[in-house]
Amino acid sequence: MLKKSYNKSFLDTDAQITLLKSRGMLFRDENQAKHSLLNLNYYRLKGYWLTTRSTQEAFENQIYFEDIINIYDFDSRLKLLLFGAIEKIEISARTKFAYYLSQKYGSHPIVADNFRNHSQYRQTYDKLTNEINRRHQHIFIEHYKANYAELLPPIWVCVEVMTFGILSQFINNIKDVSIKNAIAGDYRLGTGDLESILYHLSTVRNDIAHHSRVYNKISKITPKIPSKLKSISNQNAIGYIYNTIVLIDYLLKQIDGNSDFIGEVNMLISTCHIDKSSMGFPKE
């Protein structure tokens, strides 16, 4: 297939507004809109207004630029909630991974014999050593390297520099089923459910870390919904953020029985007047 040259020209903020108006977008304050476009990037905001178009080039009736900014602000605040919640789950899973492996194997259990797939283990191990080398200026890493001979620090130090993705890969690859059962059992989940959920949450966390749109994005890495949560999930919206929120809410309640993550999300939705259906919420 013959590729064509990219021929779209630079548009200043006045021209960007003129283009949007020609496609049917309305503005309450064009000066504030210029300020937003100069700070948020036309192309970034485009991801938020694409779903409001009735055709490829035209917007639906009464779509204001300020409504798009409200959705953008909502998405930013939602990502902060999600990031904080996923952080709690990640730290909990790190702790259990370190606890149960070291309980059985001692301080240095991250060796090939303790994992099912040695090729996968090697890939994950290399990622971990890269993280340790990258964060060598952390006080506890410097202290370990200055005083001890083993290549890896003890597991309870390693988990403090693991990314969520590395942690998910290691948990998935544990050879001893009793250890996997112990980790999953603390969340009252089967091992397959937990592995799927942790992998999914690691991808959501990466999306947030890279400032990607989340609120109405359909994830390609869909989590397995445990049987006990199917009644409150939305099986007609697989991949939408609502099901992720349900899973996060469940895991946080296992960590802290007083947690009400869904309540926090609903409060934010109400405050920002967001259409929940675009997030996969079931119809009320």
**Predicted pLDDT of residue 6:** 80
Question: Does the pLDDT of residue 223 top 70, yes or no?
Answer: yes
Task: Specify whether 17 is located in the same domain as 135.
Answer: no
Task: Specify whether 225 is located in the same domain as 89.
Answer: yes
In angstroms, the CA 239 to CA 2 distance is 34
Find the domain containing 202 and state its range: 76-279
Task: Specify whether 100 is located in the same domain as 50.
Answer: no
Task: Specify whether 46 is located in the same domain as 183.
Answer: no
| 186 closest CA partner among 259, 119, 100, 66 | 100
**Predicted pLDDT of residue 251:** 98
Task: Specify whether 131 is located in the same domain as 31.
Answer: no
Q: How many domains does the chain have?
A: 2
Is 70 part of a structural domain of the chain? no
Is 3 part of a structural domain of the chain? no
Local confidence band at 284 (pLDDT 50, 70, 90 cut-offs): confident
> What does the angle CA 180 – CA 173 – CA 208 come to, to the nearest 5 degrees?
95
Is 258 part of a structural domain of the chain? yes
Residue whose structure tokens are 């259409």: 275
Question: Does the pLDDT of residue 145 top 80, yes or no?
Answer: no
Task: Read off the tokens for 242.
Answer: 């609502």
Local confidence band at 106 (pLDDT 50, 70, 90 cut-offs): very high
Condensed to tens digits (0 to 9), the pLDDT of residues 179-214 reads: 999 999 999 999 999 999 999 999 999 999 999 999
Is 131 part of a structural domain of the chain? yes
Task: Specify whether 49 is located in the same domain as 90.
Answer: no
What integer is the mean pLDDT of 10-29? 94
Are the C-beta atoms of residues 114 and 192 closer than 8 Å to each other?
no
pTM: 0.91
Is 218 part of a structural domain of the chain? yes
Question: Does the pLDDT of residue 1 top 80, yes or no?
Answer: no
Task: Specify whether 95 is located in the same domain as 183.
Answer: yes
Condensed to tens digits (0 to 9), the pLDDT of residues 236-250 reads: 999 999 999 999 999
End-to-end CA distance of the chain: 48
Among candidate residues 22, 42, 63, the one where a domain is terminated: 63
Local confidence band at 136 (pLDDT 50, 70, 90 cut-offs): low
What integer is the mean pLDDT of 88-110? 97
Q: Which DSSP symbol is given to 59?
A: B
For 59, phi and psi rounded to 5 degrees? -90, 155
Q: Which residue type does 128 have?
A: L
Condensed to tens digits (0 to 9), the pLDDT of residues 22-61 reads: 988 999 999 999 999 999 999 999 888 877 665 556 787 7
Task: Specify whether 21 is located in the same domain as 135.
Answer: no
